[in-house]
Amino acid sequence: MAVYFILWSWLAWGSLNKYQKFVLPSAILLWLVYTIFIGLRVEIGADWEVYLIYLDYQVDMPITHPFTLAEPGYQFANWIAVKMGWGIFGANTICGGIFTACLMRYCSSMPYPWLGMALAYPYLTIVVAMGYTRQAVAIGFILLALRALENSNIRNSLFWVLIASSFHESALVMLILPFLNLGKLGRTKNLLRLTLLCGIVYGLYRTLISVV
């Protein structure tokens, strides 16, 4: 348990420091520590056995195989881990690195990024990232979608939602996000068309992989 408290103490210390913004050396170190902390866990998480089954799907398969399955982003991470001989730890480390990068990117837009990381630590990191790998990565990309929407970049927001859905399909519900941007009501018609198009493309994709 000591390692959990040591990492939280580091985040808490950073939150109290008057120099709140991330600086490159400490940001890289934080990303590495988080990625290793999440990725090298052993038999932690409700879906641990399920993730081992997902990993087996990619044994002796070509690079195109992950994209014939549901949630191809996560499947591709498994394919890389299998081909490199890294096993479940490789898949978890890849996903942990993506989640951490997304979380840090989102927190960097806050006035107090270290405080944001500290607040996200007890549940989003310990419970979600270490217990539900696919959902954690999807949430990470959703954070980027929220950040894009805060900057009124609707296309990027939709892009990140679609990337999130490649790790967990439930992220597709967040396609509603652009409609919540009240400052862009004049674009509602075009947004509706784009969202419907995304839904159609995804539906065709799901139909295709169910046939293959």
Give the DSSP letter string of 2-58.
HHHHHHHHHHHHHHHSS--S--HHHHHHHHHHHHHHHHT--S-STTHHHHHHHHHTT
Q: Region 38-42: what's the mean pLDDT?
A: 93
Q: Region 166-195: what's the mean pLDDT?
A: 68
Q: What's the chain's Rg over C-alpha atoms?
A: 18
Query: pLDDT tens for residues 141-162?
Result: 999 998 998 888 888 988 999 9
- pLDDT score of 129 more than 60: yes
Average pLDDT taken over every residue of the chain: 85
- The per-residue pLDDT for 204 is 54
Q: Region 99-117: what's the mean pLDDT?
A: 93
Query: pLDDT tens for residues 65-94?
Result: 999 888 999 999 999 999 999 999 999 999
Angle, nearest 10°, between helix axes 87-108 and 113-120? 140
- Distance between CA 92 and CA 90 in Å, rounded? 5
- The per-residue pLDDT for 209 is 52
- Distance between CA 52 and CA 55 in Å, rounded? 5
